[in-house]
Amino acid sequence: MNTIELGGGNFHQLDAETLRGMFAFRRQVFSDRLGWKVGTHENLEFDMFDTMNPVYMLARGEQGVIEGCWRLMPTTDDYMLKDTFPQLLRGESAPSNRHVWELSRFAVDAGANAGPVQAPLNTVTLDMIRRLYEFARTCGVERFVTVTSVALERLLKRTGLPISRLGDGRAQKVGRVLSVACWVEVNEQFADVVYSGSHQSISQAA
């Protein structure tokens, strides 16, 4: 059974060992598995946004090993879509609102033989999505914005999440990755995904 933990921001601060484990996990997923051009140092992956006290979501397995991570940041300061990938706004203004948060660095362990997959559709992914909804309701978040690959966008849509693209909706390549910026609405449809029986049937079909 996995556990979901929130740390950073206004939550408890994660200790150095936990942060190092998360950055190592991100390097394994984004650099080693996916081949993305991300900054690494001493086998860790991190960027300037990790210095801005974001909220981190971590999924841990039975032995406490990190199996998933997500980074959450308010849009009232610098964030990835606005300051690194503004071309993905596709004509829409970058949000700057305390009720809108950005999601980034989402990754879930896909197993040794899964190939180049950012996140599988499994119980860890679905538990993290449920915790994301709870975070939003607790912290007054009405919408999330995220930069994502088209492949991950498809996976998230399979869960039934209310996702739509920003601007004219055209995908663009970021490096070698076909990418888009998306809205995720925190609404009844989101609640249905995490609290109805739909997430269980999705998991069984994956």
Domain span at residue 12? 3-205
Beta bridge mates, 41: 44
User: What integer pLDDT is reported at residue 112 of this predicted model?
Assistant: 47
Report the domain count for the chain. Answer: 1
User: What integer pLDDT is reported at residue 202 of this predicted model?
Assistant: 43
User: What integer pLDDT is reported at residue 75 of this predicted model?
Assistant: 98
User: What integer pLDDT is reported at residue 120 of this predicted model?
Assistant: 61
How far, rounded to the nearest angstrom, does the alpha carbon of residue 175 sit from its chain's CA centroid?
19
Q: Residue holding tokens 């989402």?
A: 106
Along the chain (206 residues), what's the average pLDDT of each consecutive run of 10 residues?
91 95 91 75 90 97 92 97 96 97 92 56 88 97 96 90 96 90 97 74 40
Q: What is the CATH number of the domain that holds 7?
A: 3.40.630.30
Distance, in Å, from the CA atom of 21 to the CA atom of 16, rounded to the nearest integer, reads 9
Element (H, E) at 136: helix 123-139
User: What integer pLDDT is reported at residue 201 of this predicted model?
Assistant: 39
For residue 172, what are the CA distances in angstroms to 23, 37, 155? Answer: 27, 16, 18
Kindly report the number of other CB atoms within 10 A of residue 90's CB atom.
16
Contact 34, 40 (CB under 8 A): no
